[in-house]
Structure 1
Amino acid sequence: MANKNDHQLMKLTLTILVVMLVVDVSRGEFQRFQPSTKADGSVTALVIGDWGRKGEYNQSLLARQMGVTTEKMDIDFVISTGDNFYNDGLIDVNDPAFHQSFTDIYTAPSLQKTWYNVLGNHDYRGDALAQLSPILQARDNRWFCMKSFILDADIVEFFFIDTTPFQDKYFTNPKDHVYDWRGVIPREKYLSTLLQDLESALIESNAKWKIVIGHHTIKSASDHGNTQELVDKVLPILEANGVDLYINGHDHCLQHIASSDSPLQFLTSGGGSKAWRGVYDWPNPKEMKFFYDGQGFMTLDITHRQIGLNFYDIFGNNLHKWSVTPLPSIISAI
């Protein structure tokens, strides 16, 4: 029988291995994964952000409605746009908040699919590497979290990017918050690598549709507004490489903003719990297709011929729908 020292050594060895694995996937380099999709290649996904409050601020009520709304949709997976655990991320891999805010909340049969998560700024205030740990995936096999990665579903590729390190204020004016920058420092090298990897992956992509997922806004009419660092560094790459949608959380609302300069659409799904901030400011009404300052979620339906999206509130009301199809010359080539 193993003694106490043996158990401690085994625990230490496991911890070291987990840290090695986590650090290896936190450098900003893109790894590619293939999700389970339908036989015809189409994809249906639910998108939710800014949710983890142990059921409070209507998180539980919204989770129940997510289950009801998607019961007949046959979703393939869930996309989380970050700020998975409030207020300060997870303490470590043993933090009960993982079950209290995730496993015990999203219990509907239709939500028992893989959740593809990115980190938000609140996640970085705790043990950010804990959310990347395979220990959590072992506790709930739905959980999948990396800083940046590609989800390759053949007709569509989702490019998940780590947006928190782009914001200068988290480094220069943290406001008494402590951020877990392991794997990010040196920051300039991390961001340079991330941008190079994103641009290369988009250039090399042969997918019909390209969708980029990040926590922070590029364009937003709500509390946080536009994220200037992303406007300066990320937006030109998206516009130059035919990205169809940029989807984010961060602002606790639902919104759809069209671009005046390109076909790129900006979508916010950050209404997973605390909302109703009472802020709206957008100068061009022609660009603002939809804004809802409350709790809710979004669904995506993607086929060879169309992307369709729907926004829902906490009662399951369909607040906004929109779709886009490729150019006729592209359709004829399918």
Structure 2
Amino acid sequence: MYKNSKINFSFAILFFTVIPFTACYGQQTTNNVKQTKTLRKLENAVNFIVMGDWGRNGEDHQQLVADQMGITAAEIGADFIISTGDNFYPSGVISEFDPLWRTSFEDIYTAFALQWDWYPVLGNHDYKSNPDAQVAYSKISRRWKMPARYYSKKIKIPGTNEEMLIAFIDTNPLIPEFYKNLEYGPNVQTQDSTTQKQWLRKELNNKSSNITWKFVVGHHPIFTGSDARKEGYDTKAVRNSIKKLIDEEEVDVYLAGHDHSLQHIAPKGKTHYFVSGAASEATQVGMLPDSKFAQSEYGFMLFSVNAEITLVQVIDYKGNLLYASEINKN
């Protein structure tokens, strides 16, 4: 179990929806933040790593990113790890005993500092085989914590009575095209996206005065510069399905993967959108008008959250700090 935590699991299941889109195309675009190797850690904070799109038997930089994650987690004292999905390439796992659990997970993320709890969501590649096998693995793994295809957690902020709420959702059933897809369809068709969205609203509408921060984690982005030339149907569908809900429930941060890049997008409104999907592969990315940062680089994100500030630091596989940003609660 991670430190100073209070966990509240809720279970249930999800559906779909559009917004104008413009972008500047770029192979590797950033806001020219100077690379450094200095990391910060807030006082009285929950500290965690966010990574995604990783399971490749250690290949294509997965092992290098994993090694740096271990170094960073030890330096900062990470409490847990969040995976934004596409946990196993190319086609998920077939059971909780699939050999990929060892070759893509257990034998890769071996650093002691990465032995705390992992909280994953399902990606589209995970839907190609048996997504429920990743739920089942939670029963035999000490660190893999996926109690259902979607679930929520409350985490106590150290030194306070405050909590952060994290809702982990399954974005795959929110995409109408997936229902007739030969690979995703069989596992999507069993899901009730309307029920999942009702559940999500109930979780986010929690009236507890102790909840300071609201985070939502899903595999597919709501905004992304990776669609710089033509926006993908999956991005549109997820945005049309849940952005209104996220706005109405005043979510602070939406975390996603799917696109193999590192991004921070801050459109008008309360919610900050982050893409962390470069834990084993890096692909082209562009800057949107609302982008604060976008880079095609192997790496991950480090979050430090206290009662007043969320500090986000983007780190590459060599340990360089590519970007840092603070979100103030008030």
Does TM, normalized by the shorter one, top 0.5?
yes
Contact 1:166 1:229 in 2 (8 A): yes
Secondary structure of 2:225's match?
Answer: coil
1:274 aligns with 2:290: no
Secondary structure of 1:70's match?
Answer: helix
After the TM superposition, which residues 168-187 of structure 1 pair with which residues of structure 2 at under 5 Å, given as runs? 168-172=176-180, 174=181, 176-181=182-187, 185=189, 187=191
Deviation of the 1:232 alpha carbon: 1.5
- CA offset digits 1:131-171 (Å, max 9, x no partner): 110xx235431111231111101321101111011112212
Q: Which runs of 4+ in 1 moved over 6 A?
A: none
Q: Equivalent residue for 1:144?
A: 145
Which whole-Å CA distance do the structure 1 matches of 2:56 and 2:248 have between them? 38
Q: What one-letter code is carried by the residue in structure 2 that aligns with 1:222?
A: S
Q: What one-letter code is carried by the residue in structure 2 that aligns with 1:204?
A: N
After the TM superposition, which residues 1-334 of structure 1 pair with which residues of structure 2 at under 5 Å, given as runs? 27-28=12-13, 42-133=45-136, 136-145=137-146, 146-154=148-156, 155-172=163-180, 174=181, 176-181=182-187, 185=189, 187=191, 190-206=192-208, 207-223=211-227, 225=232, 227-260=235-268, 262-275=269-282, 277-280=283-286, 282=288, 284=289, 287-327=290-330
Q: In terms of Rg, which structure is larger?
A: 1
Contact 2:285 2:295 in 1 (8 A): no
Q: What is the RMSD of the two structures over their aligned residues, measured on CA atoms?
A: 1.9
Secondary structure of 1:100's match?
Answer: helix
Which whole-Å CA distance do the structure 1 matches of 2:106 and 2:132 have between them? 19
Which whole-Å CA distance do the structure 1 matches of 2:307 and 2:285 have between them? 37
Number of aligned pairs? 280
Residue identity (%): 35
Higher relative contact order (CA 8 A, sep 6+): 2
Which whole-Å CA distance do the structure 1 matches of 2:267 and 2:120 have between them? 26
Which whole-Å CA distance do the structure 2 matches of 1:293 and 1:95 have between them? 31
Which whole-Å CA distance do the structure 2 matches of 1:205 and 1:296 have between them? 36
Q: What stretches of structure 1 of length at least 5 have no aligned partner?
A: 1-24, 30-39, 328-334
Query: What TM-score, normalized by structure 2, do the two folds share?
Result: 0.80
Query: What TM-score, normalized by structure 1, do the two folds share?
Result: 0.79
Whichever structure has more helix as a proportion of its residues is: 1
Deviation of the 1:305 alpha carbon: 1.3
Q: What one-letter code is carried by the residue in structure 1 that aligns with 2:242?
A: V
Which whole-Å CA distance do the structure 2 matches of 1:53 and 1:179 have between them? 23
Contact 2:285 2:294 in 1 (8 A): no
Contact 1:118 1:148 in 2 (8 A): yes
Q: What stretches of structure 2 of length at least 5 have no aligned partner?
A: 1-9, 15-42, 157-162
